[in-house]
Structure 1
Amino acid sequence: MVVRCSPHPGEPTSAFKVFRMVLAEPPAADVVQFQHYIWRELPSLDGRMLFVGHGCSRSYEADQYPVGIEGIYFFDDRVIQDPVMLQQGGAPLYRCSDSGKWTEAPPQVDRCFPVQGPSNYSPQEII
């Protein structure tokens, strides 16, 4: 699971946290056995490139690509909520204003994609 972080709601992305689902400690022997899982934060990306968008992600080993650089590449696919436009049958618009690459060492966001205004297609189609 990948969590996008920002200092305040609606502000640009400033960091990410990556979690892995792991089996929790097993219950005592006299308790009915159920599998319990928890989310555990990963300490690093461990050489991976993650491409993330709303409800969509891909993960690759960075060393398998000529210019593969470990990090999280993210796309802004938040929908602009314009009730007037939607009532008139218009297609939803995507903001396309908060996209880039996050690296953990040093922790920083690089706005490496071209600036694009609102669009009627989600930039996650790039993936």
Structure 2
Amino acid sequence: MLEATAAGVPMITWPIFADHFCNEKLIVNVMKIGLTLGVEKPVFLEDPDEVKVQVKKDEIKRVIEKLMEQGGEANEMRNRAKELGEIAKKAVEEGGSSYVNVTSLVQDAMAEQARLAGHG
């Protein structure tokens, strides 16, 4: 999810388990940069015989075609994804929010290491 957002490309979601379903809601309903394949139940791999096909090839084809069409909702998704990608790039540049936060984290870790070394 992070990689696609940073690259500025829309997504097709196919959740399997755990946080995938929350991520799907974020991508499709909040950020509006993706489409869902409609999976509603997690896959539990404890019993492979119980795993059933949840997404049919026709649904995959339909969602890909919808995402690739020109105009309308597909263009809006691509534009939003591109905007978010630009924001992500700025965040990791020198002086950006992610750059500043990681720098601060490293400095704090180094200060803590120096403090502990002084007590050793």
Q: Same fold (TM over 0.5)?
A: no
Please tell me the TM-score bracket, short chain as reference. under 0.3
Which structure is higher in helix share? 2
* Structure with higher RCO (Cα < 8 A, 6+ apart): 2
Please report the TM-score for the alignment, with normalisation by the length of structure 2.
Answer: 0.22
Name the larger-Rg structure.
2
Please report the TM-score for the alignment, with normalisation by the length of structure 1.
Answer: 0.21
